[in-house]
Amino acid sequence: MKLSEKTLEILRNYATINPSMLFKQGNVISTITHPAKHVYSKAVVEETFPRDFAIYDLSRFLATLSLVSNPNIVNFTSEQLVINGDDGSEVLYTFSEPTMINGSSYKDIPIVSPVAKFSLDNVMQIIKACNVMQLPNVIVEISGGKGNIYAGDAKKANRDAYKVNIGRFDPNIECRCSFEIEKLKLLPRQYECTIGQDSRFIHFKNEKLEYFIACDMVK
């Protein structure tokens, strides 16, 4: 099995969410922040893993793969991976105990009674604006039939902000939620976003990749 570049990109992203990871048999991978469960993600990948296994240090595992020329996982034993390279190199990488992986048993977060849906194709621009303008929050605000997502300070009204219009909405919808920029650990994609009326999460979905981010303030 050779891990595709798309899968490796997702795994590098997941290493920023949780340094450890439990791989489940099949083609779905997932991760969650720990101990505060405020960012959860799952993805459908090209590869099908033949068994469950745990990696305690995901960044170390990815760095180990880079040591091998065109790495190919040739065997999944009960205790380790056997990885061969085109240059004749071989790596034996031992699994961790699944009980050592924090957040490994977490399940999907349901988005019930969605209050608003919108598309977002410039999420990286919001991240850049927060960094450049030194703003701590990402805020979604829907009011009077208009919607914006912006970089700002949720605790200080009428201060610096960078806003992006996200479309028109039912005038009866009033919604404002925010979260710290550190939670926005998304890969640069176009996302379909859902805010649940009965949930404190925003759901970002892109084809086979999705994230759930907990809001700090909801109105």
pLDDT in tens, 7-66: 999 999 999 999 999 999 999 999 999 888 889 999 999 999 999 999 999 999 999 999
Mean pLDDT confidence for 88-105: 85
Pick the CATH number of 114-218 from 3.40.630.10, 1.10.10.10, 3.90.76.10, 3.70.10.10: 3.70.10.10
Predicted confidence at residue 58, as pLDDT, reads: 96
Where on the phi/psi map is residue 65: left (φ > 0), alpha (ψ -120 to 50), or beta?
Answer: alpha
Is residue 133 within a helix (H) or strand (E), and if so which, with residue range? helix 123-133
* Maximum mean pLDDT: which of 43-52, 97-106, 153-162, 182-191: 43-52
Listed by start position, the domains of the chain span: 5-100, 114-218
Report the 10 Å Cβ neighbour count for 164. Answer: 16
Using the predicted structure, report yes or no on whether residue 119 has a pLDDT greater than 60.
yes
**Do the two domains 5-100 and 114-218 of this chain adopt the same fold?**
yes
Mean pLDDT confidence for 192-199: 76
Domain 5-100 fold: Proliferating Cell Nuclear Antigen (3.70.10)
For the entire predicted model, the pTM comes to 0.89
Q: Which of 69, 81, 24 is nearest to 49 (CA)?
A: 24
